[in-house]
A and B are shown apart, each in its own frame.
Chain A
Amino acid sequence: MIAEPLDERSERLLRELAPQVLGAVMRRFHDFATAEDAVQEALIAAAVQWPQEGVPDNPRGWLVQVASRRMTDQFRSDLARRRRETEALQSGYLMPVAEIEKETLQDDTLVLLFMCCHPSLTSSSAIALTLRAVGGLTTAEIAKAFLVPEATMAQRISRAKQNIKASDVPFRLPTNQERVERLRSVLHVLYLIFNEGYTSSAGPELQRLELSHEAIRITRLLRAVLPDDEEVMGLLALLLLTDARRAARSGPNGELIPLTKQDRSLWDQAEIAEGVALISKALSRGSIGAYQLQAAIAAVHDESARAEDTDWMQILALYELLKHMSNNPMVTLNHAIAAAMVHGPRKGLELLEGLDSDARVAGHHRLAAVRAHLLEMAGDHGAAIAQYRLAAARTTNIPERNYLITQVARLSESEESRSGDPGRS
């Protein structure tokens, strides 16, 4: 039998319902790992049955019931060994779907996000688990997005769930003391998902799931449950303002096009408008955080009609604030670029010197690439070529390496033409 594919609207509905259904099932059965599998099976059952039988009147109730039935089957199969869970099962299974419907949906999404992004998990595990449990993606889809075999991804997800089980994280919102720290982990995981999609968009992308858009969608969910959190607003604004430049950031052969050389008419004005409105709202509330500052910087770029119109003074001021807030060497790098744009390349190069003794970034290709760029601005082409070459050797991203090698060749050629035809001298 060849199953008809689910239409786009129903698929979107399924993905939206995934965390709500999981939340409902979790509260009944108190077993995250098993509940998560059961919900996956319910989603797959829906994808097979709905195209034939039509979308049920109460799709969420349908999914909760199917998932609960899977839980029952699972528990029945090892009833004797797991008496305690059976008790939980009975109390859950007897509750009619109408009751389940009444429960708050919003808290569930939030609790699930906190759980999937628990600090005891590695970021790769947290990413995979978030995409499955909150994003409603299948293991196969996640594996494809990360270009790894499905078995590898299945194992990663299953180990993450074991870790959560072992750490005994209760299915409830974190306490007030933990909350800020835990929310930070959630925001970080969403940011990583976005970047994974954004930085590898030049690969064999035809079949690729849009990880960046998935990150934006989940961040929107988070914003819906925490509408007053400034950093959530800041992250959503940052993702939108960065995503807005997607179409302009690579050429026909996947080559990288730096911000200053992009065709700005390709930027997505709707995303820019939404991002700018969000970040303006967040900043007006007065509780400034790192994501808001990064979003504000992205907004300054996005609102400049031409690269030469960029308000570098404002960007420099924002990076200075950001530097006070975070001890991230990547912030120092970007701060150096802004300082070079305002005060000249020598100032930027001076600021980079401190990073040579920072083990987190000393051997990183970005340091060499930024230094190369500033040396070129300063007119020291020989040193710039050496740094571009160093950066090309260190990067692990092929489009970026191609870009850096092209810079080496471009500068070498301009050096040769400047020194003139040696035959005539």
Chain B
Amino acid sequence: MKYILMMNTMKAGSGGFPNWPMKDIQAHIAFMVSLNKDLRESGELVSAEGLSFPDQAKLVRAGKNGEPITDGVFPESKEFLAGYWIIDVDSPERAYAIAARASAAPGVGGEPLNMPIEVRPVMSGPPPEFV
């Protein structure tokens, strides 16, 4: 079964990952690289993407004539999706275990961040007899 693991921790403005000390940034990157490598090697990784910083984000709505109306610059307290994994695992427990590992990614001073990771099943297609 497939799950999406969403890391909703990226704050707009200052105070985030780009402002950490260099060795903490490097440790965090190394942690994420090794997590992805393990998931790939265990055959559980479907896809993983990191997203741009929130200062590149825009909210888009259609205007009266369907033209895009964009809204940008969000309050610093607002949280954004920083990235996600889609994994294909045998049980929900396994999905939670992977999420817990990602949650404990090292932050400033190597302390685990214990960030919240939202885990939700990814809907699949209909079973074969319905096709």
Write out the residue numbers on chain B whose beta carbons fall within 8 Å of the beta carbon of A254. 33
Judge whether B84 is part of the interface by a CB distance below 8 angstroms: no
Judge whether A423 is part of the interface by a CB distance below 8 angstroms: no
Q: Please give me the residue from chain A that is nearest to B50 by CB atom.
A: A398
Partner pick for A253 among B20, B30, B48, B55, CB 8 A cutoff: B30
For the complex, what is the distance from the CA of A389 to the CA of B45, rounded to whole Å? 31
Q: Mark A392-410, 1 if CB is under 8 A from B, else 0.
A: 1110101000100110111
Please determine whether B29 and A393 come into contact, CB atoms closer than 8 angstroms. no
Interface bin, chain B: 20 to 34
Write out the residue numbers on chain A whose beta carbons fall within 8 Å of the beta carbon of B18. 389, 392, 405, 408
Please determine whether A392 and B53 come into contact, CB atoms closer than 8 angstroms. yes
Write out the residue numbers on chain B whose beta carbons fall within 8 Å of the beta carbon of A206. 40
Q: Please give me the residue from chain B that is nearest to A396 by CB atom.
A: B52
Chain A contact surface mostly:
helix
Judge whether A255 is part of the interface by a CB distance below 8 angstroms: yes
For the complex, what is the distance from the CA of A254 to the CA of B36, rounded to whole Å? 12
Write out the residue numbers on chain A whose beta carbons fall within 8 Å of the beta carbon of B40. 204, 206
Judge whether A413 is part of the interface by a CB distance below 8 angstroms: yes
Please determine whether A413 and B21 come into contact, CB atoms closer than 8 angstroms. yes
For the complex, what is the distance from the CA of A282 to the CA of B18, rounded to whole Å? 46
Partner pick for A410 among B22, B45, B53, CB 8 A cutoff: B22
Q: Which of B34-58 contact A (CB under 8 A)?
A: 36, 40, 45, 48, 50, 52-53, 55-56
Please determine whether A405 and B17 come into contact, CB atoms closer than 8 angstroms. yes
Please determine whether B22 and A204 come into contact, CB atoms closer than 8 angstroms. no
Partner pick for A402 among B19, B21, B29, CB 8 A cutoff: B29
Write out the residue numbers on chain B whose beta carbons fall within 8 Å of the beta carbon of A410. 22
Number of residues of chain A lying within 8 A (CB) of chain B: 18
Write out the residue numbers on chain B whose beta carbons fall within 8 Å of the beta carbon of A408. 18-19
User: A405 to nearest B CB, angstroms?
Assistant: 5
Q: Which of B8-28 contact A (CB under 8 A)?
A: 17-22, 25-26
User: A363 to nearest B CB, angstroms?
Assistant: 10
Please determine whether B52 and A253 come into contact, CB atoms closer than 8 angstroms. no
For the complex, what is the distance from the CA of A413 to the CA of B112, rounded to whole Å? 22
For the complex, what is the distance from the CA of A394 to the CA of B56, rounded to whole Å? 7
Please determine whether A406 and B21 come into contact, CB atoms closer than 8 angstroms. no
For the complex, what is the distance from the CA of A216 to the CA of B103, rounded to whole Å? 42
Q: Mark A188-220, 1 if CB is under 8 A from B, else 0.
A: 000000000000000010100000000000000
Q: Mark A344-366, 1 if CB is under 8 A from B, else 0.
A: 00000000000000000000000
Please determine whether A406 and B56 come into contact, CB atoms closer than 8 angstroms. no
Write out the residue numbers on chain B whose beta carbons fall within 8 Å of the beta carbon of A402. 25, 29
Write out the residue numbers on chain B whose beta carbons fall within 8 Å of the beta carbon of A393. 52-53, 55-56
User: CB within 8 Å of B: which residues of A?
Assistant: 204, 206, 253-255, 389, 392-394, 396, 398, 402, 405-406, 408-410, 413
- Which 10 residue pairs spanning A and B have beta carbons closest together? A409-B22, A253-B33, A393-B53, A405-B18, A253-B30, A402-B29, A398-B50, A410-B22, A393-B55, A409-B25
Q: List 28 A-B contacts (CB under 8 A).
A: A204-B40, A204-B45, A206-B40, A253-B26, A253-B29, A253-B33, A254-B33, A255-B29, A389-B18, A392-B18, A392-B53, A393-B52, A393-B53, A393-B55, A396-B52, A398-B50, A402-B25, A402-B29, A405-B18, A405-B25, A406-B26, A408-B19, A409-B20, A409-B21, A409-B25, A410-B22, A413-B21, A413-B22
